[in-house]
């Protein structure tokens, strides 16, 4: 157990709790609890949005994706950053001008019906749940690497999930948006510097970006996989025809066994042979496999080239999922209501792009550096991390960050990196819990269950919502390993976050874009579009999961949709088209559409707020 | 006010057949808001078109342009890798900075216009 890492993580937790307790005095009203009184400045808000946004997927997952997949992994970094352009260009300013608390408020204010608000609430909860799952998985895997031991009779993974969920319940319920914002600012800068330090240490150890990239691209990209003996020795089947793929040289069906034998060192492969010789077909074994190119199938898969993860359709679909998905994340959109004005919302987004952009330039450097540094350490016998490797390649790419921290800077850097990983989880989970709490507490309880509730009661309900949602997330986190998902997908954390992006991009973004920019959008159109986007994206994601778990075949209609790693390329335009067509047929825009338009695009409210602030400043002098 | 609009956001009235919204001492008319909307839409969609063309050109080039994805230009960097890992971020920063400046200028112009319309309305006694 790395005690320095443990002390740093405990210190981070204590500081987090102290900030939340300090912020209690600012959470007496629901505006304070959900929006920190709408008085967060651009720089602070940009730091908090960045903290909200940079989750375990970004801190652990992006470097891991680059480590595992090369260029296709780098797209996560570029796409995650690019998503904020859609926010700044189309959504940030109008959403803030419209005011209110939540995305569901916008839906209700724009379209005027309860069913629209309730469908939006359901969508918020589902997107938040999709986003929460990888944070919980990240908590469990980081705990495994950091502590390596369980507490209260639980295994290490479950202990990590339980501890993180418990802390988050406490700090969000106590600190509300103010406490969460202060924490997110601190946590963002911690994780930014942790990533920065790893990059500095990498360059300090002699890493050269162009040379390392050239070295990794000299030969075929390799990747690890945990397989059963039965799967390892079974013929590989063509996903389209279901027929065995024949090796042209030998005339025999191709197997993963042959691939592993050709790729692995004799010493490493001897261990695989031992497991096979034991005769247990269900025994699991870690192997290193040469990787294929899904984009240019006849080309050798190289680190610096595209194609490890995505076929031609997925190349486009993944980019669209990432750049559109950011604008569909409720916990990010809610933050825009905390800006003092529409212009401040734009300025916040510009700073967000600077902050996260630099972070996302660093992460792929770490992914590339990790490939050389870890394999060199294994080769020369200096590898001292606990994360398992096969021929110098990590079995679980998601363990790259703490491992490379240890390799480059010893226990201290590993400690800083591990605390950074927890900071990333805390900051994002905090935002998600606030979003989910506002969906239940504000959008449902205050609007439907008890409209006359006192402020104290409303805040109490918000806190109960936080605890309830955290408990659900806890259950999901514990259930992930049991489902086998962690073995079905390389770099699962980044993958799961992309699913949340896909659902958000399909359910919210078409409605937000048309609701803001097309006066002719009707309530029925928006309702139909949101339903189509939400149900379509979730269905395709589950088909993909079922196909990866080999529950459904890779052929036929189910196989076609199941093969879509990212459904956005279909679900986004279909949702948009649905809104357009249904609105055209319906033709019933809200009676008060002029009034709504003046709220979204007018400036009277902002000019009034500017006057109020000026008079307050004058009085203060 | 309709049910969907909270009253704290302002008061809507009709003056000389024209919808106006009053917040504090400030007024938006449908006419000025329409001008704002059109200008803002032009700005946002122009930048949006540039953003999407550039962003989608990258996967398109990854699929169809071999010299883009397979030819090293600096150590192991191909144009594809260099763009996605470094240049794309500079492009985003430039876009966001330029857009924010343009939108701020537009806001200033719109506020002056709205103030003028407001003064005109108040002079005519149409709103308070």
> What confidence tens digit (pLDDT) does each residue in A564-596 have?
778 899 999 999 999 999 999 999 999 888 888
Question: Of A238, A253, A291, A292, whose CA–CA distance to A554 is shortest?
Answer: A238
Rg (alpha carbons) of chain A, rounded to whole number: 25
**Per-residue confidence band for A38, with pLDDT thresholds at 50, 70 and 90:** low
Token look-up 């959504």 returns A91
A421, A138 in Cβ contact below 8 A? Answer: yes
Probe site for chain A from B71, B75, B85, B87 (most A CB atoms < 10 A): B85
pLDDT digits (tens, 9 = 90+) for A269-297: 999 999 999 989 999 999 999 999 999 99
**Per-residue confidence band for A1, with pLDDT thresholds at 50, 70 and 90:** low
Instruction: Inform me whether the C-beta atom of residue A351 falls under 8 Å from chain B C-beta atoms.
Output: no
**Per-residue confidence band for A621, with pLDDT thresholds at 50, 70 and 90:** low
- What is the share, in percent, of chain A residues with pLDDT greater than 90? 44
B43, closest residue in chain A (CA to CA): A89
Per-residue pLDDT of chain B (128 residues; tens, 9 = 90+): 333 333 445 677 776 667 777 777 777 788 888 888 898 899 999 999 999 999 999 999 999 999 999 999 999 999 999 999 999 999 999 999 999 999 888 888 877 877 777 777 667 654 44
Question: Of A186, A192, A189, A170, whose CA–CA distance to A433 is shortest?
Answer: A170
Identify all chain A residues contacting B77, using CB atoms and an 8 Å cutoff. Answer: 209-210, 213, 304
* Interchain proximity B89–A357, CB inside 8 Å: yes
At B74, give phi and psi (nearest 5°): -155, 105
pLDDT digits (tens, 9 = 90+) for A344-384: 778 888 999 999 999 999 999 999 999 999 999 999 999 98
Chain A residues 562-621 within an 8 A CB cutoff of chain B: 590-592, 594-599, 601-605, 607-608, 611-612
A30, A404 in Cβ contact below 8 A? Answer: no
Stronger pLDDT, A309 or A484, i.e. the higher one? A309
Instruction: Inform me whether the C-beta atom of residue A197 falls under 8 Å from chain B C-beta atoms.
Output: no
Phi and psi based region of residue A284 (left: phi greater than 0; alpha: psi -120 to 50; beta: remaining): beta
Residue A155 pLDDT > 60, yes or no?
yes
Identify all chain B residues contacting A111, using CB atoms and an 8 Å cutoff. Answer: 4
A136, A164 in Cβ contact below 8 A? Answer: yes
ipTM above threshold 0.95: no
pLDDT of A29: 61
Highest-pLDDT range among A321-325, A456-460, B116-120: A321-325
B36, closest residue in chain A (CA to CA): A601
> DSSP assignment of A323-339, as one string?
HHHGGG-HHHHHHHTTS
Instruction: Give B124→chain A minimum CA distance, Å.
Output: 19
A221, A70 in Cβ contact below 8 A? Answer: yes
Structural tokens at position A572: 């986004």
pLDDT of B2: 36
CB burial of A553-579 (b: ≥16 within 10 Å; e: otherwise) equals ebbeeebebbbbbbbbbbbbebbbebb
Count of Cβ atoms closer than 10 Å to residue A230 Cβ? 11
**Per-residue confidence band for A39, with pLDDT thresholds at 50, 70 and 90:** low
B74, closest residue in chain A (CA to CA): A210
**pTM attached to this predicted model:** 0.88
Probe site for chain B from A598, A605, A608 (most B CB atoms < 10 A): A598
- Partner residue opposite B92 with nearest CB, options A209, A211, A357: A357
Residue A551 pLDDT > 50, yes or no?
yes
Instruction: Give B37→chain A minimum CA distance, Å.
Output: 6
Which stretches does DSSP call E strand in A34-182?
Answer: none
- Interface A:B, Cβ pairs < 8 A: 214
Give the Cα separation of A481 and A158 in Å (integer).
10
The 3-class secondary structure across A470-483, one letter per residue, is HHHHHHHHHHHHHH
A290, A263 in Cβ contact below 8 A? Answer: yes
Instruction: Inform me whether the C-beta atom of residue A85 falls under 8 Å from chain B C-beta atoms.
Output: yes
């Amino acid at each position: 157990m790395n005690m320095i890492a443990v002390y740093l993580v405990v210190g981070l937790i204590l500081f987090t709790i102290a900030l939340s307790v300090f912020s209690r005095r600012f959470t007496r009203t629901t505006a304070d609890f959900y929006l920190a009184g709408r008085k967060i400045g651009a720089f602070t808000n940009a730091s908090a949005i960045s903290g909200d946004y940079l989750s375990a997927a970004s801190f652990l997952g992006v470097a891991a994706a680059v480590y595992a997949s090369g260029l296709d992994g780098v797209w996560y970094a570029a796409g995650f950053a690019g998503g904020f352009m859609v926010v700044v260009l189309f959504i940030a300013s109008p959403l803030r001008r419209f005011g209110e608390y939540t995305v569901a408020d916008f839906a209700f204010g724009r379209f005027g019906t309860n069913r629209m608000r309730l469908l939006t609430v359901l969508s918020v909860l589902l997107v938040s749940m999709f986003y929460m799952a990888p944070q919980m998985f990240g908590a469990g895997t980081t705990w495994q690497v950091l502590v390596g031991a369980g507490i209260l009779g639980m295994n290490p993974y479950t202990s990590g999930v339980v501890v993180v969920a418990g802390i988050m319940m406490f700090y969000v319920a106590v600190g509300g948006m103010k406490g969460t914002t202060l924490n997110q600012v601190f946590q963002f800068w911690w994780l930014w510097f942790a990533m920065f330090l790893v990059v500095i240490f990498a360059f300090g150890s002699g890493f050269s970006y162009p040379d390392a990239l050239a070295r990794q691209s000299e030969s075929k990209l390799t990747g690890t996989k945990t397989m059963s003996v039965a799967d390892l020795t079974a013929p590989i089947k063509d996903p389209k025809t279901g027929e065995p793929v024949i090796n042209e040289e030998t005339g025999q069906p191709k197997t993963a066994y042959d691939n592993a034998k050709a790729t692995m060192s004799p010493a490493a492969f001897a261990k695989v042979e031992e497991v096979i010789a034991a005769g247990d077909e269900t025994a699991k074994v870690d192997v290193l496999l040469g990787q294929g190119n899904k984009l240019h199938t006849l080309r050798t898969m190289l680190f610096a080239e595209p194609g490890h993860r995505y076929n031609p359709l997925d190349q486009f679909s993944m980019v669209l999922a990432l750049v559109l998905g950011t604008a569909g994340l409720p916990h990010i959109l809610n933050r825009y209501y905390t800006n003092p004005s529409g212009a401040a919302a734009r300025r916040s987004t510009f700073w967000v792009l600077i902050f996260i952009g630099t972070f996302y330039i660093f992460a792929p450097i770490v992914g590339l550096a990790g490939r050389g540094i870890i394999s060199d350490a294994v080769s020369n016998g200096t590898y001292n991390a606990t994360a398992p490797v096969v021929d110098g390649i990590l079995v679980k790419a998601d363990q790259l960050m703490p491992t490379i921290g240890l390799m480059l800077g010893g226990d201290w850097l590993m400690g800083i990196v591990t605390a950074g990983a927890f900071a990333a989880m805390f900051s994002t989970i905090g935002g998600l819990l606030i979003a989910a709490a506002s969906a239940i507490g504000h959008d449902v309880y205050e609007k439907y269950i008890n409209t006359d509730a006192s402020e104290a009661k409303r805040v109490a309900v918000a806190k109960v919502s936080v605890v309830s949602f955290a408990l659900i997330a806890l259950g999901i986190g514990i259930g992930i390993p049991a489902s086998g998902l962690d073995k079905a997908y390389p770099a699962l954390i980044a993958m799961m976050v992309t699913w949340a992006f896909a659902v958000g991009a399909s359910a919210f973004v078409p409605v937000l874009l048309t609701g803001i920019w097309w006066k002719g959008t009707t309530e029925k159109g928006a309702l139909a579009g949101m339903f189509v986007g939400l149900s379509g994206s979730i269905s395709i994601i589950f088909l993909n999961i079922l196909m990866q778990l080999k529950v459904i075949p890779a052929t036929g209609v189910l196989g076609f949709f199941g093969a879509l790693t990212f459904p956005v390329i279909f679900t986004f335009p279909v949702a948009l088209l649905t809104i357009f067509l249904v609105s055209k047929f319906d033709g019933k825009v809200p009676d008060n559409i002029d009034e709504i338009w003046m709220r979204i695009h007018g400036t009277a409210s902002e000019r009034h707020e500017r006057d109020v602030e000026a008079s307050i400043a004058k009085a203060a002098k | 006010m309709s049910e969907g609009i909270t009253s704290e956001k302002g008061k809507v009235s009709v003056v000389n057949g024209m919808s106006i919204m009053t917040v504090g001492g400030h007024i938006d008319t449908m006419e000025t808001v329409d001008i704002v909307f059109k200008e803002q839409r032009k700005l946002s969609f122009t930048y949006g078109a540039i953003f999407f063309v550039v962003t989608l050109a990258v996967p398109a080039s990854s699929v169809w342009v071999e010299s883009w994805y397979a030819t090293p230009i600096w150590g192991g960097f191909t144009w594809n890798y260099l763009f996605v890992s470094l240049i794309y971020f500079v492009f985003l920063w430039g876009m966001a900075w330029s857009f924010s400046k343009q939108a701020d200028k537009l806001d200033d112009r719109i506020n002056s216009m709205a103030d003028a319309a407001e003064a005109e309305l108040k002079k005519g006694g149409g709103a308070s």
